[in-house]
Amino acid sequence: MLIENFVQKIIANTDYQEMDRVYLFNRLQALVGDGDVEEQASGEDSLLQLVDLAVDRGKIPDDATSREILADQLADLATPAPSKVNELFWNKYDEDPKAATDWFYDLCTHNNYVKKTAIAKNIVFSGTSSYGHPLEITINLSKPEKDPKAIAAAAKKKDTDYPKCDLCLENEGYLGDYGKNARSNLRIIRINIGGEKWGMQYSPYAYFNEHCIFLDQIHEPMVINQQTLINLLEIVKTFPHYMVGSNADLPIVGGSLLSHEHYQGGGHRFPMMNAAIKEELTFAGYPAVHGGIVDWPMSDIRLISQDTEALIELGTKIIKSWQKYSDPDLGIVAEDKTARHHTVTPIAHKDGDEYVLELVLRDNNTSEQYPLGIFHPHQDKWHIKKENIGLIEVMGRAILPGRLKGELGEVKKYLLGQDNQIAEIHLPWAKQLQAKHPDISQQNVDEILQHELLDIFDQVLADAGVYKADAAGEAGWQKFLATIGAENN
C-alpha cells in the first residue's frame, strides 16, 4: 500500500520508531487525504504518487508550486532532522572527509532536494575549440519554467523579507509559497570558516558534479578581499577533494546574487584547472610560491605553493594592486568618481600536496560601444550568450539558456535546407556556417553545431578577458605584472 510503504521508508531513514507508525500514517493522511491506495506496479516514484493522490483528493491545487511544496514536505518527513544530519556528517568526516560528503550528497539526492531527474534533462557536451582550449557546454533545461499560477498569486500576495534571500540559513525547513521556494527538505551542514559561522548545502539544480554552496550564516553582501582567500583555502583544507571559488563582487562580472556572501564548490575538475601555464613567473619576496599566466582566454594568474599563508599574502597583494590599476590604452580603468570597477574571480583547489589559487582579473566598465560591459560577451555572440560570465563559466563550463534547445533545432533545419522557423537573431550566424561548411549533411550537422558552439564560448571568454591574446595584450600583462613584483622565469 502506498501510504504504508512510505511510512516504512520514514521509519527506516529517520529516528522515528515502530511505535510511531500510526502517528506517521495519520500525518501522511493529513497531507494527502484519508485512505490508503495500492502503490503503482509501474515503479513510479512513491513521492510523485502521493502528490498525485493529494491533487485527486483536492488537498492541494493542481499547479507546479503546490506540487513542489507538498513533495518537499513529504520528503522532509523521511529525512533526519538537521541536528541529526550534522551529527552523522561530522562523525563520518572524522573517518574520511570524502566519505562524509558522499553520504551527504546521497542523502540530498534521495530526499529529492538535489533534483537529479531534472538535472538529467540538461544537454551537456565537451570538446576542444578551434583556439585550442578544452571547454564544456551545458544547455540548462533543469530549472522549471515559472508557474503562471504562481506568478499571478505572488502578485496578489504581500511579500515578506523572510527569508531575506534564497541563500539564507532560514530557508532550512521553510515551507515555501507562491513566489518563495519550497525548502522543507533542505539540510545545511554547519561549519566554521575563517572564524565565522557558515553553512554548506548542495545546489538543487546542480550545474556540475556535487555542486555545493558555502553560505555565510549572516545575510551580508559579497566582497573579495584577504578574508576571501583565507576562507577559500580553509575550505580546501577541510574538503581537499573539492574545488571552491567565488563569483566576483561587482555587477556585470559577478554572479546573479551579490547580496549574500557565498562560494560555490564541488567535485568537478573544470577545464581551466587543467590548462597549462603559458608564462612562468617568479614573485619577489615569495620564494615558496610558483606559478604564472595561464593559457586561457580569460586573464588568469595561477599561484601554487604548499604554504597557504604565502598564497594568501601574495594573492591579497595582487587583488589590491588590480583594484587600483588602470591602463586606459586598453580600456582598463580601475575606478571613476562613482564606483570601483576592478575585482577578481578567485578559485582554490589542491593538486597533490600543493594548494592552487587562481585569480582571474575582472573589469566591469561599460562604454557607448559596449553598454552591457566592455569585458562582457559582445553583441555578435548575444544570440548564444548574453548573460554575465560568472564563476562556473570563467572556469570553462558554459551555462547556456534553455531557449537554445529549440532554437538550435531550427538552425539545424535551416542548415539542412528543411522547412524551419529559425529565429532572426540566429540567421547571420547560420548563413556564416552555411558558407563555412558547404559539405554540411544530416550525418555531420550535429558535430558541426557542437564545435561551433565551443568556438563561440571560447570567444565569449576572450571578450571577458582584460588582456587579449595579441601583442598589445602581452605588453599590458607585463606592465601590470611589474606592479606586483612578478618576473618571467
The amino acid occupying position 471 is: A
How confident is the model over 271-285, as a mean pLDDT? 97
Residue 297 confidence (pLDDT):
98
- Please name the residue that has the C-alpha cell 531575506: 164
Asked if residue 314 has pLDDT above 60, the reply is yes
Residue 398 confidence (pLDDT):
97
106's enclosing H/E stretch is helix 97-110
11 alpha-carbon distance from chain centroid: 34
Asked if residue 376 has pLDDT above 90, the reply is yes
Asked if residue 158 has pLDDT above 70, the reply is no
Alpha-carbon torsion angle 194, 256, 276, 210, nearest 10: 70
Predicted model pTM: 0.93
Residue 337 confidence (pLDDT):
87
Share of the chain above pLDDT 70, in %: 96
How, if at all, do strands 300-305 and 262-266 pair? unpaired
**Rounded Cα gap, residues 295 and 348, in angstroms:** 17
Residue 152 confidence (pLDDT):
55
Give the three cell numbers for residue 41.
Answer: 506496479
Domain annotation for the chain: domains and CATH numbers: 2-60 (no CATH), 123-397+470-488 (3.30.428)
Residue 38 confidence (pLDDT):
87
How, if at all, do strands 196-202 and 212-216 pair? antiparallel
Alpha-carbon torsion angle 213, 461, 374, 333, nearest 10: 70
pLDDT tens by residue, 104-132: 999 999 999 999 888 999 999 999 999 99
CA distances in angstroms from 150 to 50, 59, 188, 447, listed in the order given: 21, 17, 26, 39
Residue 150 confidence (pLDDT):
54
pLDDT tens by residue, 219-261: 999 999 999 999 999 999 999 999 999 999 999 998 778 999 9
Asked if residue 365 has pLDDT above 90, the reply is yes
**Rounded Cα gap, residues 221 and 229, in angstroms:** 16
Burial of residue 238, with CB atoms counted within 10 A of its CB: 0-12 exposed, 13-18 middle, 19 or more buried: middle
Residue 374 confidence (pLDDT):
96
How confident is the model over 284-300, as a mean pLDDT? 97
Residue 110 confidence (pLDDT):
92
Give yes or no for a cis peptide into 163 (omega within 30° of 0): yes
Q: Which of 459, 391, 407 is nearest to 207 (CA)?
A: 391
Q: Which of 75, 46, 48 is nearest to 64 (CA)?
A: 48
How confident is the model over 273-281, as a mean pLDDT? 97
**Rounded Cα gap, residues 38 and 4, in angstroms:** 10
pLDDT tens by residue, 65-112: 999 999 999 999 999 999 999 999 999 999 999 999 999 999 999 999
For the ranges 24-33, 148-157, 200-209, 292-301, the lowest mean pLDDT is seen at: 148-157
Residue 44 confidence (pLDDT):
55
Residue 179 confidence (pLDDT):
79
- Please tell me whether residue 400 adopts helix, strand or coil conformation: strand
pLDDT tens by residue, 184-214: 999 999 999 999 999 999 999 999 999 999 9
Residue 148 confidence (pLDDT):
55
Q: How confident is the model at residue 302 (pLDDT cuts 50, 70, 90)?
A: very high
Kindly calculate the radius of gyration of the chain based on its CA atoms and give it in whole angstroms. 25
Share of the chain above pLDDT 90, in %: 89
**Rounded Cα gap, residues 416 and 428, in angstroms:** 16
Question: Is 266 in contact with 208 (CB distance < 8 Å)?
Answer: yes
pLDDT tens by residue, 176-189: 988 788 999 999 99
**Rounded Cα gap, residues 317 and 321, in angstroms:** 6
Residue 39 confidence (pLDDT):
87
CA distances in angstroms from 208 to 63, 212, 324, listed in the order given: 29, 9, 34
Q: How confident is the model at residue 8 (pLDDT cuts 50, 70, 90)?
A: very high
Q: What is the DSSP string of 240-295?
A: TT-EEE--BSSTTTB-S--SS-EEEEES---HHHHPPEEEEEEETT-TT-EEEEES
Residue 157 confidence (pLDDT):
57
For the ranges 20-34, 156-170, 295-309, the lowest mean pLDDT is seen at: 156-170
pLDDT tens by residue, 19-65: 999 999 999 999 999 999 988 865 458 899 999 999 999 999 999 89
CA distances in angstroms from 15 to 10, 18, 77, 369, listed in the order given: 9, 10, 11, 62
Residue 142 confidence (pLDDT):
85
Task: Fill in the DSSP letter of residue 19.
Answer: G
Residue 156 confidence (pLDDT):
58
Residue 285 confidence (pLDDT):
95
pLDDT tens by residue, 325-361: 999 999 999 999 889 999 999 999 999 999 999 999 9
Asked if residue 151 has pLDDT above 60, the reply is no
**Rounded Cα gap, residues 354 and 158, in angstroms:** 52
Q: How confident is the model at residue 159 (pLDDT cuts 50, 70, 90)?
A: low
**Rounded Cα gap, residues 133 and 114, in angstroms:** 31
Chain mean pLDDT for the chain: 94
Spatial neighbors of 465 by CB under 8 A, at least 6 apart, are: 296, 297, 298, 299, 375, 473
